Structure 1
Amino acid sequence: MPLRRRAALVLAAVTSLTALTAPLALADTTPQAATGTAQAPAPPSRGDLYGTADPTYDGVWRQAYAEKAISTSGYVVGAAATRWLLAQQCADGGWPSYRADTAKACDPKTEDTNATGMALNALVVVRGAGTSEALERGQAWLRTVQNADGGWSYNPGGASDPDSTAIALGALGKDAAGTPNAKGKTSYAALRGFQFGCAAKAADRGAFGYPGTDGKLKANAKATADAINGLVQGHLTGYTYDKPSTTTPAAAPKPADCDTDAKAYDSLDANGAANAAADWLVAQLRAGGGHLNAVTPGADTPTPDYGTTADAVAALDGIGRSADAKAAADWLAADSAAWSKGNPAALAQLIMAGAGRTGAVDGPLQQLIALGPAATKRATGAMPGAEEKKDDSSSGSTTWIVVGVVFVASAGVGLLISGRKRRQG
């Protein structure tokens, strides 16, 4: 299977990125013609996008990720940011990585499940004109491109992979995850099909595998972190994703025992499967000295993998295992500044990995806010989703109040490979 990347942006080349827009007034700003007929509002500008780097491969991804990170950190993102994200949606409901000209119809071949899933994860708690309709169309599009085996590929028509299946499952939710498709297959079963069980060697059990060029699964940290996050985001594990590290863990599930039951992994529920995957991740973090490692394209030796380490921390937090994530979170806080500087998606990952840890997100959060439309501090005590506004799409209003929840993306060492497809060597 081809290894697709959303972007490879050399961070050392990034010099300075500044806030580009002022906050929009929460009012009807649709211009009126002299005759009194409402005119269509001007299309969103590049100034509404987080960051100034070329958005061709990751525009939608980084925008949605940034909105979620900011809104889960006590802020309401600028209205212009969500307007930009909504304008990127295609008529059939899907999102491509980026549409340079939103006045032109989308080429369906450019739409992908990862951009769509992340956009939906951001919009699911956005309150404002047009968001409910956008969510419905986006979720409907995901259902139409689901594979016969219940999973999803990055681009429709390809073989299912664990990362794409996880993000789609998270975007559609618990009910959809257990609903059979036309072939009688569920997305939950498709995702679990990538998890190694008793038939695998002991070192791989619990991990989620990514298909190699030979079609065989290989235990993969990115796939494993994404699978846990997808199960949590889809509300299958019983945990609340809004504040992962403050979640009260349920009783620890009984580990699968292959010595007494050759199908022990098959009988795990979603929480048990997520914790089995977490056990494998924790072992990889410890083996790496508190972080994960990867071989980046063109390199011969492993180097620290900041992005997947951040995803792993968020995954562990998401199932109430913050204690197991602490060493990796501390490593990220101490060593990730150069990797994340000026990179919206990377900064968002650090914010997600630091959620709930006092002071852990302050620096990355302020850097991220400075890279896009101005954000406003949420009222003390208000929670994401509390500022719900009526969906008034017929009034011409451009009122937006944006809030979000957490999920995962990936990035490489010294460069952003936001693609869901960068793999360990």
Structure 2
Amino acid sequence: MTVRRSALALTALTALTAASAAFAPAAVAEDSPAPSVKKLPSGLYGDSDPAYDGVYRQSLALLAQHTAGVEPAAKAVDWLTGQQCEDGSFAPFRADPSSDCDAKTQVDTNQTATAVQALAALGGHDEAVGKAVDWLKAAQNDDGGWGYVPGGDTDTNSTSLVVGALAATGTKADTVTSKKDKTPEDALLGLSLKCADGGAFAFQPEKNGDLTANEDATAAGVLGGLGSSLVVTEGESAAQTACEKPADARAAAANGAAHLADVLKKDGHLTSAMPGAEDQPDTGNTADAVTALHAAGLTDAAKKPLAWLEKNGPAWAKQSGPSAWAQLVLTAHATGTDPRSFGGTDLVAGLNATGPAPKSAENTPSAEDSAKQAADEDGPQISVWWIVGVGLLVGAGVGLMISLRNKSGRK
């Protein structure tokens, strides 16, 4: 969608704990341990270990810059295109892009779908985009959806990211069918809860088949059900504000948006927790929820959480890195808010300062000015416990992923 989120790390972990149960995406906390590579590429955004989210965060950064009228640095775009495997897929990070990908290369649908959205928006990368889309289509599950890794169980987040990639390339999701004639819409509808259970989306079914509401998955499912990419255009004012039995994925998306609106009423933000840690505001998922509400046309319900984001989001982005800055830029775009004056903070300058200087930008301060501004920001701090916890989970997840993939012959 966790410390903005630890989800990509956790995505990998859960996808792995089952290769049979893929987890969902988002962005790994940028305050993670020092990079495992000796020297980070000069074209890469962020200075944390790119092993789990390099392509994802790069894609978000480029997509957000484009949305804000900024022309990214050529070497930033070149780094992203250079990460693509010959079959069209993307792994989170390939230290040596000159080496061919093989069965041990840890490619996934999340990195690939996000790269498609960025490269399609930038233009001029038709061949790379076409190959990536073909790979995604080939990785579709029989139920019409996608898991984090090819062959992994379908989840709402991964399916919605791929739907976004299809939308970004002008492909309607209902035209992409599986070998069993199922579409992404069929998969998302199957992951939506009944109105008696709140109408949200589940990440994946539990082992017993039950569906459990998940706000991160719900925000993703709203975009997927509406057939939207990560660059959201505000939907028409929604007539439906309460749950109704859904006839299709679009109706399920409306139910999911109504669920988010109800959850956000009290505090104006979503809350997350990890075992042994106190509950704390989940800024990343709140941003996703605000974007989803605007996509569904529930703009009034988004006002309170948007105000909360304007107050608390910049400090979170300062600590969390390029994915977080980019996410807020995309939320600002969805809500019609100026990303250069988001609660008094220039989000575009903050994003630009995390990587190579862009070719052009409209009214964007220098990296030095944006860094100084970020240093002066005050706001909630991310618990060290969370960061350590994410690191431990990622380490365990990667080991399990490698083991599972070796056994199966294979984000």
Normalising by structure 1, what TM-score? 0.72
User: Match of 1:278?
Assistant: 257
Where 1:211 maps in the other structure, the secondary structure is coil
Do the aligned partners of residues 252 and 178 (structure 1) sit closer, same or farther apart at CA in structure 2, a change above 3 Å counting?
farther
User: Match of 2:371?
Assistant: none
1:204 and 1:176 map into 2 onto residues whose CA distance is: 25
Do the aligned partners of residues 242 and 59 (structure 1) sit closer, same or farther apart at CA in structure 2, a change above 3 Å counting?
closer
Correspondence for 2:268 among 290, 308, 313? 290
8 Å contact kept, 1:92–1:137:
yes
Paired residues for 1:228-267 under 5 Å: 228-234=222-228, 242=231, 244=233, 247=234, 249=236, 252-253=239-240, 255-257=242-244, 264-265=245-246, 267=247
1:12 and 1:185 map into 2 onto residues whose CA distance is: 39
1:251 and 1:325 map into 2 onto residues whose CA distance is: 12
Paired residues for 1:133-282 under 5 Å: 133-173=127-167, 174-198=171-195, 202-212=196-206, 215-234=209-228, 242=231, 244=233, 247=234, 249=236, 252-253=239-240, 255-257=242-244, 264-265=245-246, 267-268=247-248, 270=250, 272-282=251-261
Larger radius of gyration: 1
2:146 and 2:355 map into 1 onto residues whose CA distance is: 31
1:307 and 1:79 map into 2 onto residues whose CA distance is: 28
Work out whether 1:348 is the aligned partner of 2:332. Answer: no
Do the aligned partners of residues 213 and 307 (structure 1) sit closer, same or farther apart at CA in structure 2, a change above 3 Å counting?
farther
8 Å contact kept, 2:237–2:299:
no
1:290 and 1:250 map into 2 onto residues whose CA distance is: 20
- How many Å apart are 1:323 and its aligned residue? 2.3
Unaligned residue ranges in structure 1 (runs of 5+): 15-43, 236-240, 258-263, 381-411
- How many Å apart are 1:180 and its aligned residue? 2.5
Root-mean-square deviation (CA), in Å? 3.1
8 Å contact kept, 1:6–1:57:
no
Where 1:304 maps in the other structure, the secondary structure is strand
Do the aligned partners of residues 345 and 134 (structure 1) sit closer, same or farther apart at CA in structure 2, a change above 3 Å counting?
same
Where 1:217 maps in the other structure, the secondary structure is coil
User: Match of 1:11?
Assistant: 31
2:102 and 2:218 map into 1 onto residues whose CA distance is: 32
User: Match of 2:6?
Assistant: none
- How many Å apart are 1:119 and its aligned residue? 0.4
338-347 or 86-95, larger mean C-alpha shift: 338-347
1:153 and 1:74 map into 2 onto residues whose CA distance is: 33
User: Match of 1:22?
Assistant: none
Where 2:112 maps in the other structure, the secondary structure is helix
Where 1:75 maps in the other structure, the secondary structure is coil
Work out whether 1:65 is the aligned partner of 2:65. Answer: no
Alpha-carbon deviations, 1:281-323, whole Å to 9, x = none?
0111124x11000113x43432111111111111112233232
Work out whether 1:327 is the aligned partner of 2:304. Answer: yes
Unaligned residue ranges in structure 2 (runs of 5+): 1-13, 364-380, 398-411
8 Å contact kept, 2:270–2:281:
yes
User: Match of 1:105?
Assistant: 100
Paired residues for 1:5-84 under 5 Å: 8-9=28-29, 11=31, 46-84=41-79
User: Match of 1:303?
Assistant: 280
2:80 and 2:30 map into 1 onto residues whose CA distance is: 24
1:218 and 1:251 map into 2 onto residues whose CA distance is: 25
* Higher helix proportion: 2
Normalising by structure 2, what TM-score? 0.74
206-215 or 188-197, larger mean C-alpha shift: 206-215
User: Match of 1:314?
Assistant: 291
Work out whether 1:357 is the aligned partner of 2:352. Answer: no
What one-letter code is carried by the residue in structure 1 that aligns with 2:148?
A: Y
Do the aligned partners of residues 146 and 248 (structure 1) sit closer, same or farther apart at CA in structure 2, a change above 3 Å counting?
closer
Do the aligned partners of residues 219 and 371 (structure 1) sit closer, same or farther apart at CA in structure 2, a change above 3 Å counting?
same
Do the aligned partners of residues 375 and 220 (structure 1) sit closer, same or farther apart at CA in structure 2, a change above 3 Å counting?
same
Where 2:212 maps in the other structure, the secondary structure is strand
What one-letter code is carried by the residue in structure 2 that aligns with 1:89?
A: Q
- How many Å apart are 1:105 and its aligned residue? 1.3
2:360 and 2:299 map into 1 onto residues whose CA distance is: 26
1:234 and 1:347 map into 2 onto residues whose CA distance is: 21
Where 1:125 maps in the other structure, the secondary structure is helix
